[in-house]
Structure 1
Amino acid sequence: MWRDVVLVAVGGAIGTAARAGLTLAFGADLGPALVPLINVVGAFAIGILFGWRARMPESSRAQRVQLFMGTGVLGGFTTYSALAVESADLGLLWWGAATVVVGTAAAWGGVLIGRGGRARA
């Protein structure tokens, strides 16, 4: 159990650092579009990961990859809190709602790609 917690924590630190790096590098240029972009790309990547996992046989190794990459790295990379604050700061409820809709579509597309283009088995 502790090994899994450490995997999620380390992965989360990596994902959060990646998001912070992108914010520092591109925040001034992309402005408020950066957070939704990060969230949609992250949702797509999570979808690919979960679609891939659906094709794999159950194993502790596959479970740990999912914990590290999905819950940790990609969970830390995407951020609902930043999206909520940005939407409130801009005074645009549709900004957050549109990001959730587009992110969900991206995750669905990622799942299909991860499953090799096949619908749910």
Structure 2
Amino acid sequence: MSMWRDVGLVAVGGAIGTALRAGLTLAIGDGIGSTLVPLLNIVGAFAIGILLGWRSRMPASSGAQRVQLFLGTGVLGGFTTYSALAVEAAEPGLLWWGIGSVVLGTGAAWGGLVLGRSGRTQR
């Protein structure tokens, strides 16, 4: 039963994250064009870094694991979309944008991880 509950958490979280991304794309996508997908990925990478850093300070528990599955794998996994980035980067002249987005996303994830790890460790 536990495995299916975890799969359900990821599925529901993924649906929420995908809906958030789609809503932002519809609301502001035309205004900033091809900048939106890399921007969402960088913000999502930063948030995932924070989550993983926070998790590293928490005691191991099934509750904390479920939060990570729901928020990290589900919501933030659905919110970020490197497949859309790959399609945009395949456009002539935009390969640099895809590479830059991966580099910036990695930096954002590292920054989020450092931020998430700061503070007191709870035991």
TM-score by length of 1: 0.94
For 1:89 and 1:23, the matched residues in 2 are separated by: 19
Q: Which position in structure 2 is the counterpart of 1:6?
A: 8
Q: After the TM superposition, list the runs of 4 or more consecutive aligned residues in structure 1 that deviate by more than 3 angstroms.
A: none
Are residue 106 (structure 1) and residue 108 (structure 2) matched?
yes
For 1:117 and 1:47, the matched residues in 2 are separated by: 15
Provide the identity percentage: 77
Q: Which position in structure 1 is the counterpart of 2:64?
A: 62
Which among 66, 73, 76 is matched to residue 74 of structure 1? 76
For 2:11 and 2:84, the matched residues in 1 are separated by: 19
For 1:58 and 1:104, the matched residues in 2 are separated by: 26
The count of aligned residue pairs is: 118
Q: CA RMSD in A?
A: 1.2
Unaligned 5+ residue runs, structure 1?
none
CA offsets 1:10-34 (integer angstroms, 9 cap, x no match): 0000000000000000010010000
**Cα deviation, residue 117, structure 1:** 6.4
Unaligned 5+ residue runs, structure 2?
none
For 2:68 and 2:55, the matched residues in 1 are separated by: 8
TM-score by length of 2: 0.93
